[in-house]
Structure 1
Amino acid sequence: MSAHLTRRRFGLLFAGALLVSGSAFGANEDDVRAVFDRFITAQNAHDVPAVRDLLLDSPSFLWITRGSPIWGREAALKRFEALYQGTWKLTPDNGGLKVIVLSDTAAQLFVPVMFNVGAPGQPAPDAPFLMNQTLVKTASGWRVTSILPIPLPPPNPAPVK
């Protein structure tokens, strides 16, 4: 076989591999977005069993809330359950949602969200956050393994004219 034919076959194989891997990553991105959509729906419905199904069942699951780490799925669920007694609503800016596929089994998600949280019977002001999640693919599908919200400063008031 000539060197030219060998290089051509190698090039075709390489291009095919890139197409396959790109479509696999694209499928993973869609799957991660779908998990995030289910996460938002479950959070806003205060649906603890649905949230449980989306979080990685591991003591290394991490949620940072108000500057404090909560380790483990069960500890996080207890905290969510307590917070659900009041106002708890997440409104993502899906136009700003970005999924970074790190591998076939790991992804990072970033999205601006408006967060409303308040004690029972108390007003729940708007609080802008940048939501970061890490997801891993398990035998049961994609699961959230970390939730790292970053609070944003309040917007500057409009100038007085």
Structure 2
Amino acid sequence: MPARCRSLACAALMLAATTPVPAARAGASEEVRTLYGRFLAAQNARDLARVRSLLLDSPKFLWVSDGMAVWGPDALVERMSLFQQAPVWRVDPDLAKAVPVELDDRTAYLHLPLVLTIGPEAAPDRLHFLVSMLGVATPEGWRIAALFTTAEKPR
């Protein structure tokens, strides 16, 4: 290798060795899992203000619940507040079966089964659901843009 090429190669190696490596970013799969964890904690704490803060602040936010389209984050909070009036309210997801589906580095779905325990303390219902949550990256951080829930049918 000619001396000039060796010096260029040496300079390139020195530049590469001294250039800072950007910090690793979490992928969309990890981000949507983290977002769901925060949403789960807020629901189980019955903290509707925190639930609201995790939703996309847009009239296009969509929650499909019981076969109904619920548009906008305030409508979700209003509907969820009715459910949370029950003495027992607890969401228990099967996180081992959660499947993230990345659409790109700023958008991902998380699909998972869960059990919602709701009702009177003496005999609450245990409702099995499948949930798909669409998470999107925003300037304020990851937010829930849509939730799709359906009753889980036994196989």
Q: TM-score range by the shorter chain?
A: 0.7 to 0.9
Aligned residue pairs, count: 131
Structure 2 distance, partners of 1:121, 1:30, is 35
Say which SS state the counterpart of residue 28 (structure 2) adopts.
helix
TM-score normalised to the size of structure 2? 0.77
Shift of the alpha carbon at 1:100?
1.0
Calculate percent identity across the aligned residue pairs. 34
Shift of the alpha carbon at 1:122?
6.7
Within-5 A mapping of 1:46-85: 46-85=46-85
Partner amino acid, structure 2, of 1:124? P
Structure 2 distance, partners of 1:33, 1:98, is 9
Larger helix proportion of the pair: 1
Structure 2 distance, partners of 1:121, 1:91, is 17
Within-5 A mapping of 1:79-158: 79-86=79-86, 87-118=88-119, 123-153=123-153, 155=154
| Structure-2 change in CA distance of 1:55 and 1:122 (3 Å) | farther
TM-score normalised to the size of structure 1? 0.75
Say which SS state the counterpart of residue 27 (structure 2) adopts.
helix
Larger Rg: 2
**Alpha carbons 2:113, 2:131 under 8 Å: kept:** yes
| Structure-2 change in CA distance of 1:99 and 1:50 (3 Å) | same
Tell me which residue corresponds to 1:32.
Answer: 32
After superposition, what is the alpha-carbon deviation per residue over 1:95-148, rounded to whole angstroms, capped at 9, x for unaligned?
101111101221111011111223x56732111111111111100111111110
- Relative contact order (alpha carbons < 8 A, sep ≥ 6): 1 or 2 greater? 2
After superposition, what is the alpha-carbon deviation per residue over 1:39-65, rounded to whole angstroms, capped at 9, x for unaligned?
111111110111011111110111111
**Alpha carbons 2:95, 2:112 under 8 Å: kept:** yes
Say which SS state the counterpart of residue 148 (structure 1) adopts.
strand
Say which SS state the counterpart of residue 60 (structure 1) adopts.
coil
**Alpha carbons 2:40, 2:91 under 8 Å: kept:** yes
CA RMSD in angstroms comes to: 1.8
Shift of the alpha carbon at 1:88?
2.3
